[in-house]
Amino acid sequence: MSNALVLAGGGVTGIAWELGVLQGLAENGLDLTSEAHVVVGTSAGSSVGAQILSGVPLAQLYDNQLAEAHNEISPRIDLELLATIFGDMANGGTTTEEQRARIGALALSADTVDETTRRAVIEARLPLHEWPITPLVLTAIDAHTGEFVTWDKYSDVSLVDAVTSSCAVPSVWPCVTINGRKYYDGGLRNSVNGYLASGYSQVTVLAPMTGGPSPLVDAELDTLRAEGATVRVVNCDSDAIAAMGPNSLDPKFRAIAAQHGLRQGLALQWK
């Protein structure tokens, strides 16, 4: 059996929740990290993917989310601009390449921290700065053209830059320069990008953000099922959503998000 682990977007709290779910499953005897033949990460999921394939014990990565001290920074958020950007995703949970290029133009002109400051945050998140042995596929979007791109160990990009670009929420964090071009968050195509797990017999999706139905996400997962894959999906439940608050980028909610992820992972009776 070939196993794919798909880690979706969800902000700082999404990182913590996903690590909690994985830890809960591991405590139940199911270590998805060691069983994965590929890990697909989008936005927050890119950070989680890089962390769990670093060789650092999952329990330690989980405990890091509970620690009061951290290297995260609170972003300056222009709510009006953010609403404009994500308004393109409101109907259907996805965007066209043309829409993503418009989003890129807004992202490039946004007032954010500088690239160096933001990169240092991501660098501190990752225990390992080299691409792992297990295949890891990360997502981003070309800010100028709107083209959806993927990074892996064969791409001409460092792991830190790949994760930073995938986590570059437009208008919140700066677009990331890679080989002379600017990139932002791959979650603006959709938060899961599950089609990248095509060809694997069992696909597990951790998707903390449940902002409404996404026909493209559902269609991609249905296609995987039609290809013969067993697809398992875990979303934040109502208790987790209520506890994590409205701002998924607020580091203060990391610990509670991780704890709810652990609770949900422990409750899953998977084999």
Domains and CATH numbers, the chain: 1-73+107-265 (3.40.1090.10)
Whole-number average pLDDT of the chain: 93
What's the alpha-carbon Rg for the chain, to the nearest Å? Answer: 17
Q: Quick one: pLDDT band at residue 88, thresholds 50, 70, 90? A: low
pLDDT at 90: 57
- Token reading at 194: 């599950």
pLDDT for 32: 97
pLDDT, position 87: 72
Q: CA–CA separation, 156 vs 204, rounded Å?
A: 28
Q: Which residues contact 91 (CB under 8 A, 6 or more apart)?
A: none
Residue 95 structure tokens: 């965007």
With 0.75 as the threshold, say if the pTM is over it. yes
- Give the mean model confidence (pLDDT) for residues 81-100: 74
C-alpha distances (whole Å) from 82 to each of 12, 86, 110, 117 are: 17, 6, 10, 21
